[in-house]
Amino acid sequence: MVLACLSVLLLFVAGCSGSEPSASGVTQQEEAATEAPTDRPNIIFVLTDDLDYTSAQKMPQITSLLADQGTSFEEAFVSHSICCPARATFLTGLYDHNHNVLSNRPPDGGFETFVSEGHEENSIGVGLQGAGYRTAFFGKYLNGYPADDPTHVPPGWDEWYGKLDDQKLYDYSINENGEEVSYGNDEGDFFTDVLSRQATDFVGRAAPEDQPFFAYVAPTAPHGPSTPAERHKGAFSEEEPYRPPSYNEEDVSDKPSQIQNTESISEKEGSRIDNHYRERLESMLAVDEMVGSLVEELEVAGELDNTYIFFTSDNGYEQGEHRLQKGKNKVYEESSRVPLFVRGPGVRAGSKTQKLALNTDFAPTFADVAGTEFQADGRSLAPLLEGDEGAPSWRTSVLLEKLPTQQGYQAVRTETHKYVEYNNGERELYDLEADPYELESLHESADPSLLEDLKARLEALKNCSEEGCREAEDAQ
């Protein structure tokens, strides 16, 4: 197993901030750093914004340096496919119904809800810092951050570079360790490049030290406005339009009313979708270069073989599928499926896994490879870093959920089916083996025994927590 090489398991509770002094006046964090073995792996987490699975495959350095040199998760999902709830899950390892960050803004979501629910004191940053890791955050944190205090630095982060102006790529500000720093509109101010310089500089400073590090790097690409760097404009101008079978779906009579009432995509609208698709790809090229810079810096420091790099997205993106011209926050594969590549010590190069992965799994995975513990609804992905052979027994389902509003839903996504219950009483059911593009819902014609099984699985997941979630996901 990947983790067998770790000689010591540190049993720190994730909720501890590591800042309370002991009787000797030394903080728990300082004691952990002193006692921790120096060969524990570093961890870099790259979280893109709205990157769909297909577009990720077109990035040359992400493909050659991460996918080809590590494990590709072919069935990776986010439970709620929209920014803030998904990011709250990455930070806590909890499903929406447990962290209660249900949307991008108050009163039921956003940064303020994350804080009021007490999650900043119990994030994976706090957990790893308490376990002796040097922690640093770069980029987009949570929608609505920083509310009324642009100098706010959340607990758990030794270094903090939090973006203050949402998606703007020029003329924005960054909270750099408690100081608001403004950037202009010169070419050198392009946000992804600034992010790359800051993250690479941190790796260059931290890698030679004995203390292991955790870097959370969150670019805003390819989220709209999907502005590419000047050097990348036009790089995908000849890219063929993306036309999966679900694009501009012809017959939507089996879909819920919100889709049934959607008009077919016109030629003009299709052209706009295609232009945005190319802009999104071009905006990702600076992220692709950032990944290359991080790998190069690690190699120069002699730490590449001792560093896990996780690359994923907070959600996928609709680009004309099922007549949805743009966006996310839907139950369909295009919204909920995300790219996930992992390279690192013990990870077999070029391996792939078809096992179900979820964003509840990242925090417990980071804790696992760091040799500590973290209470979460998810599970460590470490057994899968060798490919499917590493974990012959694995979960058979995950929960997809969007709790508020009449268009909300809860769904169970198994290895072969997806069953959806909408808040307004509508239903969907797809056989993903026979119909991977979700073109024909079987909710009115399926075998009653199949429906009953899927309903029971969903019912077990709806209000689960921690070990109860893992047991419900494992049900056969």
Active site residues: 83
Neighbours of 346 (CB within 10 A): 17
Phi and psi at residue 442, to the nearest 5°? -105, 20
Helix (H), strand (E) counts: the chain: 14, 16
- One-letter amino acid of 84: C
Up-side HSE of residue 265: CA atoms within 13 Å toward CB? 22
* DSSP H stretches of helix in 351-466: 362-370, 448-462
Q: Write the DSSP symbol of residue 321.
A: B
- Helix-strand-coil split of the chain, %, nearest 5: 35, 20, 45
- One-letter amino acid of 262: T
- Which strands make up the sheet holding 71-73, listed edge to edge? 179-182, 173-176, 159-163, 134-139, 213-218, 42-48, 307-313, 341-343, 71-73, 351-353
> Residue with structure tokens 């959806």?
420
Of 429, 431, 425, 387, the closest CA to residue 406 belongs to 425
Distance CA 110, CA 9 (A): 35
Tokens at 263, concatenated: 């008009």
* Integer CA distances (angstroms), 466 to 78, 365, 385, in order: 17, 14, 22
Tokens at 11, concatenated: 């049993």
* Integer CA distances (angstroms), 385 to 197, 309, 326, 443, in order: 29, 12, 33, 36
Do the bridges between strand 159-163 and strand 134-139 make them parallel or antiparallel, or are there none, so unpaired?
parallel
- Which secondary-structure segment (H or E) carries 330? none
* Integer CA distances (angstroms), 237 to 55, 266, 281, in order: 15, 21, 10
Q: Write the DSSP symbol of residue 241.
A: P
Distance CA 418, CA 343 (A): 30
Distance CA 173, CA 167 (A): 11
Distance CA 120, CA 107 (A): 18
C-alpha angle 85/430/377, rounded to 5°?
Answer: 35
For residue 249, what are the contacts with CB-CB under 8 A and spacing of at least 6? 255, 321, 322, 323, 439
